[in-house]
Amino acid sequence: MNKIVQKIRDKISGSEDILKALKDLPNSELHSFLLELFRQKSVDISPTELLIQFKNNRFVTPADTEIVRIKQTELEWLVHARKNHFQPVNLSPLAPFGSCSAIAHVDQNNVISSLRGTEIVSDATNVLALKIADEFQKANDKKLVLKYATTHRHVRGQYFSNPNYSAHFSVFCLASGGFDTGNYGFEIDQMNEHLSILYRLLSQRFDEKDLLIRFYTRTRSEHFKSQFKNSTAQFRKGKQVEFTEEFENKYYSTIQFKIFLKKDNQEIDLGDGGMVDWTQKLLGNRKHRLFISGIGLELVEKYCFLIIFNSLSAFSVSSVW
């Protein structure tokens, strides 16, 4: 028997709560134990069972989207982001374990946990937050503003009843981090930058008369609301815009925007963005600011295709990046 397995068996022997005993193990010992466990489990898998898993496991089933169009869009949008001073970055398929649950309001069961202290990326903006926080720690420059863009294939653990959504899907993401500049300057500047980029990209795929921008505010500051509306006045001209103070989730603070496709009395949520406090938690500094945004690439491609064939009624209105 593997020495580490024997050591762990001795540690948890007689424990009434096996789950707690395993949770309390040092990470190095737990990882070694799990690696050995899965190694032994893999020996028992037959080729026939492997093929059955490929057919039935929703996490490994290939997506039904057109990969060439998706890849072309990814490249086009990343080039556009770079032209607008967001540096494209190629993230790993894996993130540190707890990348979502430790800094955002996400249940770990909605993430695919892995071994060796990792999880499969379920939201690239969380990983960009880690990159930004790491670089700020190294630079120690409060005037620094970091802006990144990426495309990534996300995998999420929750079950989607809508057959048009798979457990994995491609997303275009932006993230920008910097320190508070006072008078809500950072928040408003970054919201305008992110929104302008996302709207411009979507307006290349859809008629602008079918696009709706909805702003959500989560602050009682009338000063912020006044500054925010004044700063977006020029951008809003000729566009469908709505304002509300009702937030849909716990992710965002201060400000959020969503861009909807309006068709046949439906609102299809294509992209969104807003302020989050993730780098404040990572850096232990409440003065740091982080703005994130994203568009579901496969939703965009699917609806573009459906519009061409005038078949939007086949899809429901709910969406996910």
Write out pLDDT tens, residues 201-223.
999 999 999 999 999 987 777 88
What tens digit of pLDDT does each residue of 93-144 get?
999 999 999 998 888 989 999 998 999 999 999 999 999 999 999 998 989 9
* pLDDT above 90 for 238: no
pLDDT (0 to 100) of residue 310: 56
Kindly tell me if the per-residue pLDDT of 294 is higher than 90. yes
Tokens standing for residue 180: 């508070």
**Bridge partners, residue 154, by sequence:** 169
54-95: pLDDT as tens digits: 999 999 989 888 899 999 999 999 999 999 999 999 999 999
Confidence at residue 75, expressed as pLDDT on a 0 to 100 scale: 97
Provide the whole-model pTM: 0.88
Distance CA 264, CA 262 (A): 7
According to the per-residue pLDDT averaged within each range, which of 8-22, 39-53, 154-168 is highest? Answer: 39-53
Domain ranges within the chain, ordered by starting residue:
3-44, 67-314
Can you give the pLDDT at residue 106? Answer: 87
Share of the chain above pLDDT 70, in %: 92
Cβ neighbours of residue 244 under 8 Å, at least 6 residues apart? 214, 215, 216, 217
Confidence at residue 26, expressed as pLDDT on a 0 to 100 scale: 86
* CB contact at 8 A, 175 and 276: no
Q: Which CATH number fits domain 67-314: 3.30.930.10, 1.10.3210.10, 3.30.1130.10, 3.30.300.350?
A: 3.30.930.10
